[in-house]
Amino acid sequence: MPRARLRARVRRGSPERPAIASAAGVVIDPAARRATRHGADLQLTRREYALLELLVRKAGTVVQRAEIVDKLWDLPAELGSNVVDVTVRRCD
């Protein structure tokens, strides 16, 4: 595993997560890596699922782009990359 990935895992830690989270009709089941919206399965890539899970778990709060990049990509947030925009746009 590359050093950058190891550093990112150490930085993020491994907090215990509740089995299921939900917000606005979206239900996340991390044990099954499954997401549904109003009962219908969502077909998501691994990265899309991770982004959705982060947003559902932080529902009701503003999630800064830097936090999203830090949690989902091994990139410095100050790069100004549009990876978040691209991932969100694919989910439309």
Total domain count, the chain = 1
What are the φ and ψ backbone dihedral angles of 56, each rounded to 5 degrees?
-65, -45
The candidate with the shortest Cα–Cα distance to 86, out of 78, 11, 72, 76, is 72
DSSP 32-63: TTEEEETTEEP---HHHHHHHHHHHHTTTS--
Mean pLDDT of 76-85: 67
Distance of alpha carbon 59 from alpha carbon 15, whole angstroms: 18
pLDDT in tens, 59-78: 999 999 888 888 888 766 55
Specify whether the CB–CB gap between 18 and 61 falls below 8 A. Answer: no
* Assigned token pair, 68: 């999203």
The helix (H) or strand (E) run that includes residue 26 is strand 26-29
pLDDT at 79 (0 to 100): 55
pLDDT at 74 (0 to 100): 74
pLDDT in tens, 14-55: 566 557 899 999 999 998 899 999 999 999 999 899 999 999
**Domain membership of residue 76 as a residue range:** 3-90
| CATH of residue 11 | 1.10.10.10
- Residue 35 forms beta bridges with which residues? 28
Better-scored residue on pLDDT, 8 or 45 = 45
pLDDT at 68 (0 to 100): 87
